[in-house]
Amino acid sequence: MFDTCNVMNGKVYGLDMHLDRFLISATKAQIHHSYSKDEIEEVVLKTIAASETEHGCVVRMYLTAGRGDYSIFSEQLERFI
């Protein structure tokens, strides 16, 4: 799942609201993680600062449950190895 926010004139618009929606979506999708809202906010702000972009930037935040059983060594395949 993902959410986005915009950077215009050196300001991140609606980051707090986007982070709330991001974390609510993760809960609803049953994607378990150990990140706090403050930790995610810090990473987003540091990434924006490192990009040195002040205008016209869109930030997309992703969270995934991981690879699941798509590994070549999934439980189904291990019995044949």
CATH of the domain at 36: 3.30.470.10
Element (H, E) at 8: strand 2-8
Q: How many domains does the chain have?
A: 1
pLDDT digits (tens, 9 = 90+) for 4-19: 999 998 889 999 999 9
Domain that holds residue 17: 2-78
> What does pTM read for this prediction?
0.75
Q: Work out the mean pLDDT of the chain and round it to a whole number.
A: 84
Cα 22 to Cα 3: distance, rounded to the nearest angstrom: 6
pLDDT per residue over 29-54, tens digit each? 998 888 999 999 999 999 999 988 87
Max CA distance (Å), the chain: 57
Q: Residues with Cβ < 8 Å from 57, sequence gap 6 or more?
A: 6, 7, 48, 51
- Return the pLDDT at 70: 56
> Of 18-22, 56-60, 64-68, which one has max mean pLDDT?
18-22
